[in-house]
Structure 1
């Protein structure tokens, strides 16, 4: 039994010694380290070799030039579509943005890479200027997609992403629908000062006139008068940030509004003034004025749908129709008075002084010749006898009709003058 235990102990010591020997041998060799550098690729192309040489240790968060140098970023754009939202005071411009800058880290000799002078990179691979739309209504980024950038051997970077610029614009509806508005895009760097980045406009000039169509394909606006300004803005602590301002004018196309606005305007004026030329006893005076009020109310409802409720300025055309509504209401009151004077039987004549004025030159100038003749004939026909003590009811009705017609003509002149004043002040 003692001999068997001794054999097991000896075997254990031998195995332990072998493990210790193997550990010592392995410890004598240093551990293998991961090689830093370009890793050969299977079937690698010259572009693969070029990108690995340039981008292996590239820091995309550092501006690619010395801190004492200024990176010039050239900005250009081409407008493809514009959408105007008058209720939200926003203008959304969709187009192609063109950005060009120089990257000192991405330069190479073309002969060293088989004549390769350009390659593509994704936006997340290299540094880009942090340009934002500073007067944006929603998003602030200039680029809205991840299209590739073009890198040229001289270090020039070209990036042409599609962009959407939802800008805030202060609308003035005072001259609606013949209005125009001055808007602007303010594009600038978010974190780099003017000592780091310089912005300038470059590329194709924007068209002098850009047509804006709505969803139905109808032309609604023209964009004109482009102006480009570059400056620096001090947001805080004396740090100036580069900005590029593109100003433009939105001009509404009024072809579809002329007939819609001007035709009811003429109808309102004609119907209101025509009611004064109807015979004094005619009850159609009230009907014409009610039709006029209906037209004005319909137009006001239309304006409520087309215009923002909280606009900066009330359109002049709305003020005109609001004034016309008051005038037409007064015209109805005037018509009721005229009908009452001409239809109600009278026992007594109108004051003789007033009658003499109406049958004189004033009546002729007012176009009351027919009514003057009728009043004179009626006065002679109804002249009382010497022994007659009283007159029958309605004997002087023609005189009162003459007075009602005179009030109509004078009201016509007053209303005409009022409409002329309203048109001169409240229309274009």
Structure 2
């Protein structure tokens, strides 16, 4: 047996052998009358055969079963093993793509005969997986049950065999291509907040991350159908990363502008007090604060070492200094203001680093919870044995089928 799923068409293809057996009163004979022959091989088109059809077939106008010979025994027992390929419609669950588990159903029954004419029964509870051929999809379990359906148009019952096939995708390649690649994307986003505020490498790394993310979204658009009700979590994650990258680019441009421009005005006092207080300690700004304090100390010492001759030692002013000393002190004062703006830019970087780490953590927890719920629901599959279908309909012709 071999199973293939077509995500674009929402179809499942099952290449398998169908074993059917029934009893035909017209094919009984006495072996003594025919030289001891107890069984013969005949063409299936030379005898009666049940008109079993795949109700949810995705391909019409095609014979479900290949023309192979069948075995007829002396007691009228007919055994027919027919190679076939079933093409059925299947509703896929893309929430956990590409690690999803899908359950598809084959609905098989007679096309023209009701339950009073043909009594279809199960020989086995599902497929024989001894000869299973593993492809992209791994068949985890196959269950089957027999049900009797009565349509509103007709009083006669119709028997349907339902085969439920549970499959998981062999997704090791997707793991290495998608999930491992998401690690450097997240790293590129976060590392930009630890570069020097004046570094233009921030924008370059953000552009690289945006390019990689867009390429992955284009790849997802090629692999996943456009019209689906359940968007994959991985697509939501990469879309969220793209939005965060857009914010990161804006923040990086602001930080570079603030830290590289020459501002003659100091930062607002309230903001300065917060940065020099607990907020600065929480954001790890001590090194920048020490540098600012050292610049302020140098400015104070410059003024203190060159006091005005017309003023007392306690009255410090730069008006009595020569032009060279005045320019030096003014330059140091501007440098202090510039460092304070760099301090503000660094604080913005650290704040968004913590914010983005929190967002990534929340998204990871949310996706794990949603993924685990979807994963548990995908395993909630009916497991009905043939004995549980206790309907007993006496038909004219008896048929037993197993897929």
Question: Normalising by structure 1, what TM-score?
Answer: 0.76
CA RMSD of aligned residues (A): 2.2
**Partner residue in 2 for 1:94:** 15
**Partner residue in 1 for 2:188:** 271
For the residues of structure 2 that align with 1:351 and 1:237, how far apart are their CA atoms? 84
The answer as to 2:365 corresponding to 1:424 is yes
For the residues of structure 1 that align with 2:47 and 2:70, how far apart are their CA atoms? 9
Match of residue 405, structure 1, among 346, 358, 361: 346
Q: Which has the higher helix share?
A: 2
**Partner residue in 2 for 1:253:** 170
For the residues of structure 2 that align with 1:87 and 1:149, how far apart are their CA atoms? 37
Match of residue 221, structure 1, among 129, 133, 137: 137
Cα distance, 1:289–1:91 mapped onto 2, change above 3 Å: same
Question: Normalising by structure 2, what TM-score?
Answer: 0.80
Q: For 1:330-369, what aligned pairs fall within 5 Å after superposition?
A: 330-369=247-286
Cα distance, 1:121–1:143 mapped onto 2, change above 3 Å: farther
Contact 1:183 1:247 in 2 (8 A): yes
Q: Secondary structure at the match of 1:155?
A: strand
Structure 2 alignment gaps of length 5 or more: 304-315, 320-325, 372-403
Deviation at 1:250, TM superposition (A): 1.5
Deviation at 1:93, TM superposition (A): 0.7
The answer as to 2:334 corresponding to 1:394 is yes
Q: Larger deviation: 366-375 or 142-151? A: 142-151
Contact 1:133 1:141 in 2 (8 A): no
Match of residue 203, structure 2, among 286, 292, 299: 286
**Partner residue in 2 for 1:319:** 236
Contact 1:90 1:166 in 2 (8 A): yes
Q: Secondary structure at the match of 2:194?
A: coil
Cα distance, 1:173–1:230 mapped onto 2, change above 3 Å: same
Runs of 4+ in structure 1 over 6 Å off: none
Please say which structure displays the higher CA radius of gyration: 1
For the residues of structure 1 that align with 2:133 and 2:211, how far apart are their CA atoms? 34
Match of residue 135, structure 1, among 45, 51, 56: 56
Q: Secondary structure at the match of 2:28?
A: coil
**Partner residue in 2 for 1:381:** 298
Deviation at 1:422, TM superposition (A): 1.8
The answer as to 2:196 corresponding to 1:196 is no
Contact 1:228 1:244 in 2 (8 A): yes
For the residues of structure 2 that align with 1:158 and 1:209, how far apart are their CA atoms? 20
For the residues of structure 2 that align with 1:209 and 1:414, how far apart are their CA atoms? 53
Q: Secondary structure at the match of 2:317?
A: coil
Q: Secondary structure at the match of 2:99?
A: coil
Q: Secondary structure at the match of 1:106?
A: strand
For the residues of structure 1 that align with 2:128 and 2:34, how far apart are their CA atoms? 41
Q: For 1:51-200, what aligned pairs fall within 5 Å after superposition?
A: 79=1, 81-139=2-60, 143-200=64-121
Structure 1 alignment gaps of length 5 or more: 1-78, 214-218
Contact 2:285 2:346 in 1 (8 A): yes
Deviation at 1:144, TM superposition (A): 2.7
For the residues of structure 1 that align with 2:223 and 2:130, how far apart are their CA atoms? 25
Deviation at 1:150, TM superposition (A): 1.5
Deviation at 1:245, TM superposition (A): 0.7
Highest relative contact order (Cα 8 Å, sep 6+), 1 or 2? Answer: 2
Deviation at 1:189, TM superposition (A): 0.7
For residues 348-386 of structure 1, the C-alpha deviation after alignment (integer angstroms, 9 at most, x for no partner) is 211223222212232122111110011112233345752
Contact 1:142 1:164 in 2 (8 A): no
Contact 1:221 1:250 in 2 (8 A): yes
For the residues of structure 1 that align with 2:130 and 2:367, how far apart are their CA atoms? 29
The alignment covers a number of residue pairs equal to 344
**Partner residue in 2 for 1:8:** none
